[in-house]
Amino acid sequence: MLVFFSFTLRAQDNPDLPERPNPPRLVNDLVGILQPQEREQLERKLVAYNDSASTQITIVIVKTTDPYPIGDYAFQIGRKWGVGQKDKNNGLVICWATQTRKVFIATGYGLEGAIPDAIAKRIISETIAPAFKQEQYYAGLDAATTEIIKRARGEYKAEPKADDDGNGWIIWLILGFIILAIIFRNRGGGGSGYGRGGGFAPVFFPTTFSGWGSSSGGGGGDSGGGFGGFGGGSFGGGGAGGDY
């Protein structure tokens, strides 16, 4: 225990740990082993999942983690960068050391139930390692992240975005007015009016509705605008590693 504690402190002070990426990215290929289009495809995939489920999966590729074990290195990256949401700790780090041919999946506290150690080990041995042995690096990472997403989906949902214009109450007010108008009209027998002309008084919809509709479209645009940043998640000791 003392040895591990001492070791952890050294890792926290390790200047060789990569700094949090700026601008923020979920796919961090510090070796350049992936093709640019492969990095972008993985990035879009993980950003879309983060936007829809709030779970953050980051890939960190380095040459070596020596003199530190890759597991401790991955945990320290997760803590230093704050992968996952602060109050949910739903982050996951896939750390790959190309020179030593080692891979480790570190799970935040909140994902240890969805991705237990045995599953993390299996993903590496049955999905990542076979692809990496054939130098199919993108295919291995793509398949692994797909499996992780499938297993973690439903564990957390993204927090609904706040209404930036603050006009949400107007929508409910208009809907309530429409319902009341219909009720009074029906009670009037249909022929007598809710207005002077004997007909149903027209209801005018303010521009709030058009803004509401465009807001929905704008939400999709946000997911295409890139990763907004890590949420301050924390890591314990969940995860597993392997080589190829």
Label residue 101 left, alpha or beta by phi (over 0 means left) and psi (-120 to 50 means alpha).
left
> SS in 3 state form for 71-102?
HHHHHHHHHHHCCCECCCCCEEEEEEECCCCE
User: What confidence score (pLDDT) does residue 4 get?
Assistant: 41
pTM (two decimals): 0.67
User: Closest Cα to residue 66, out of 1, 16, 30, 12?
Assistant: 16
The pair of structure tokens assigned to 156 is 């957390």
C-alpha–C-alpha distance, residues 144 and 94, integer Å: 9
Give the pLDDT confidence of 158-200 residue by residue, as tens digits. 555 555 455 566 777 788 878 887 776 766 554 444 344 444 4
The pair of structure tokens assigned to 241 is 């590693």
pLDDT averaged over every residue in the chain:
80
